[in-house]
Every structure is written in C-alpha cells, then in structure tokens.
Amino acid sequence: MRLAKYLASAGVASRRASEEVVRAGRVRVDQELVTDPARDVDETDAIFLDGKPVKGPGSRVVYALNKPAGVVSTARDPQGRPTVVSLLAADGLRLYPVGRLDIDTTGLILLTNDGELAYRLTHPKYEVPKTYRAVVERAPVRTRAVDALRRGVELQDGPTAPATVHKLGADRLEITIHEGRKRQVRRMCEFVGHPVKRLERVAIGSLELGDLPEGSNRRLTEQEVERLLAIS
Ligand code: URA
C-alpha cells in the first residue's frame, strides 16, 4: 500500500495532508527517512511520524451523526460555533467529518478517524450518491421544474449531472445527486424557481439516516462500512 494511503488509513490525516506530511520529511519507514508518498509499505514495516510509531490501519471507527441546524461541519470553527466533532465526544479519537453540510442543513453526516475512507466517500471521482429532502418555497412544484432538476441545470460553476428526483408533496422534493458541489441542492432548487426552506440529508449511498434523533450519533458496524465502500 502507498505510504500516504497507509497513513490516512491509520488516522494520521486526510489523504492529501498525509502526502504533505511525507514530503515534509516527517516520516520514517523502519530507520529510513522517506519523502515519497507513493513508497510501498505494509503491516510489517515500522512507520514513525515525528519519531512516534504510527499504529497500523484496522483501528477505524465511523460514526453517523444527525446534524442539527446551526452546527458547522468542519472540525474546528474560528468563530467558535458548535461543530459536528464537538457533538461527538469520542474519547481520544481524532475524527474528521466526511464531506460538508451547510450550517442550516440537517441530517446524516459521517465522522471517522480514517482519512482514506473520508477520501473515498467524498472525492467526486467515486460519485457516491447522496439523498436530500427539501422543503421549498413557491409551491406547488410543477412537473417542468422536476424534469429540469432530473436532466441537470446550468449553475454558475457548470451544468449539474442528471439527478434522481421524486416529488413527495406540493412543496417537498427528494433529490439524489452524485456530485458534492457547494450548496448544490439549494442552488439547483433556486434555479428552477423554488428556493429551499429546509434541507435534510437522509442517505449517503446505502446508509440511511433512519430514526436517529437530531443531535444523536451511533457507531457504524463494520458491515455497514464495507457496504458503503463497496459502492465507491
Ligand atoms: N446541498 C446543499 O445545498 N447543501 C448541503 O448542505 C448539501 C448539499
């Protein structure tokens, strides 16, 4: 396995940050200083970061959190607002949010100590589907608007890919997208004349939010994690 991938899987940092850590000359493999993030390593190598041993991959944890509104989905917030990480008191674990939800968006977000898993679930090339429920303004939503959302709409940063869209009520839509652009669902709905009033993420790939109460979290089983990764 590539060294950067190994470090990310061991929870050292995200995949990209792990590459930087290696390039910065902070990593030794056995006794050798290695600056090539692509260097091949395995479980039998003794790997040190800043002189401290890195424990191997296999201690992965993944939590699902039902994010309330008003909570930011970054690990830290310079403005001191509550973060998804602060909602989840996982003793001694350094957790990363997997992707982002807007501050006002509620629903399913994952947190993990596995930078590699975070990468696999968020990098656009893996196209992991994410499903949202939106309550929108200017009801009723007409078939024309639903069809436009399905086909793709022209946003400032380019056209959106085809989406799966179900009309759940006069002012309610369920939208599944495979991209993860900033405020994408809000911008898509606004484009078709229906600004979003409330937005909730209800699924990431095969994993559903279900009846997890707002503000609560649960640890995913290894089987759930494997199923998530199987689609990416
Ligand atoms: N799309 C949005 O507009 N907001 C989110 O938080 C997630 C997807």
**184 Cβ closer than 6 Å to some ligand 1 atom:** yes
Pocket test for ligand 1, best of 105, 130, 173, 175 (most atoms within 8 A of CB): 105
CA of 23 to the centre of ligand 1 (A): 34
Q: By alpha-carbon position, which residue is closest to atom 2 of ligand 1?
A: 183
In this structure, the strands spanning 27-29 and 32-33 are antiparallel
State the pLDDT at residue 116.
Answer: 82
Run of H or E including 74 = none
Check pLDDT > 80 for residue 111: yes
**Whole-number Å distance between alpha carbons of 5 and 106:** 31
Check pLDDT > 90 for residue 180: no
- Three-state secondary structure call for residue 9: helix
Run of H or E including 109 = strand 106-112
Return all residues near 109 (Cβ < 8 A) that are at least 6 apart: 64, 65, 67, 73, 84, 97, 98, 99, 101, 201
Whole-model pTM? 0.79
State the pLDDT at residue 70.
Answer: 97
What are the C-alpha distances in Å from 29 to residues 23, 57, 94, 113, 229?
A: 13, 15, 23, 22, 28
State the pLDDT at residue 40.
Answer: 93
**198 Cβ closer than 6 Å to some ligand 1 atom:** no
Dihedral, CA of residue 209, residue 213, residue 219 and residue 224, to nearest 10: -20
State the pLDDT at residue 75.
Answer: 83
Q: By alpha-carbon position, which residue is closest to atom 7 of ligand 1?
A: 101
State the pLDDT at residue 232.
Answer: 58
